[in-house]
Amino acid sequence: MSKHHVFREYYEAILVAVIFTLFARTFVAQAFKIPTGSMEDNLLVGDHLFVNKFVYAPHWDTPLHRILPYRDIRRGDIVVFKYPQDPERDFIKRAIALGGDTVEVRGKGLSVNGEAEVNPHVVHKDRQIIPDTPALPASIRNRDYFGPFVVPAEFVFCMGDNRDNSYDSRFWGPVPRSYFKGRALFIYWSYEAQPNSHEWRGWWDRMRQLASVGVHFFSRTRWQRSFSVVH
C-alpha cells in the first residue's frame, strides 16, 4: 500500500470523525458547565452536564423524526437557552411557566396559575424578605415580590432553584421559545470550582486553571455526583 493511499485513509477517517462530532454537538448532545450558584443545591458550580439538544428541536414528518423522542418544553424541565440580553451566552435554569400561564411571587412563595409551586429542589438562603414597596427599584424587589405576570405565547418563564441568588426571568423577562438549546440530562463530571471561572481572563489565568485541575483532579472531583440524572 502506497504512502499516499495510507495518508488518504487517515485523512478520510479523521474528516468523518470531525464531521460526526460536529453533527452530534450541533443536533444531538452538548457538554455544559455550571458556572454560577443559581441552581444550588441541585446543581453545583463545576458540575459538567450533557444536554439533549434534539428533544426540543422542530419535528418534521420523516421516518427518523417519528422514532426520536421529541417533545415540547414542560414545566419543571431544567433547560439550557441563549440569554435573551446577550444571545452569545448560555444560561441554565428551570422552566417554571409556559405561554398563557400566570406567574406570581409573594414573600418568596411562587405560584403558577394560582397553585403554589411544589419543587423539592428550591432553596432560600437569605431569610430576609425584600418588601414590595415602590421606594425600591424593580431590580431589587422582584426577587421576593413579582407579578402577577402572564407569560406571552411562544415564551417560557425560567427561574433558578437558588431563588435568592438567581438572575432570571423575574429580572429580564421570559425566554423566546426559539432560544432554547436543550434539556439537561445528567452530570458526567463534577469538580469543585470557583464561580465564573469559565470567563476569559487571559492565557495565564487559563493555564493556571488547567494546572490546578491536573494537581487536584482526584481530591476535588465530586465522585458521588458522577452520572447523576438531573431533576
Length of the chain: 231
Count of helix runs (H) and strand runs (E) in the chain: 5, 12
- Candidates 2, 3, 38, 111; catalytic one: 38
2 in active site: no
Specify whether the CB–CB gap between 80 and 182 falls below 8 A: yes
Going from N- to C-terminal start, the domains of the chain cover 3-229
Of 15-19, 33-37, 111-115, the one with minimum mean pLDDT is 15-19
pLDDT at 165: 95
Share of the chain above pLDDT 90, in %: 57
When pLDDT is averaged across residues 194-203 and rounded to a whole number, the result is 70
Cα dihedral sign, 14-20-23-24 = negative
Give pTM, 2 decimals: 0.81
When pLDDT is averaged across residues 17-45 and rounded to a whole number, the result is 69
pLDDT band at 18 (very low <50, low <70, confident <90, very high): very low
The highest-level CATH class for domain 3-229 is mainly beta
- Candidates 53, 93, 166, 181; catalytic one: 93
**Which of 159, 230, 231, 221 is closest to 193 using CA atoms?**
221
228 in active site: no
pLDDT at 140: 94
Measure Cα distances from 57 to 24, 27, 52, 164, 177 in Å: 13, 8, 10, 32, 10
Top-confidence residue, 13 or 166 = 166
Residues 33-61 have pLDDT tens digits of 899 999 999 999 999 998 988 788 766 66
pLDDT at 5: 45
Of 35-39, 90-94, 173-177, 193-197, the one with minimum mean pLDDT is 193-197
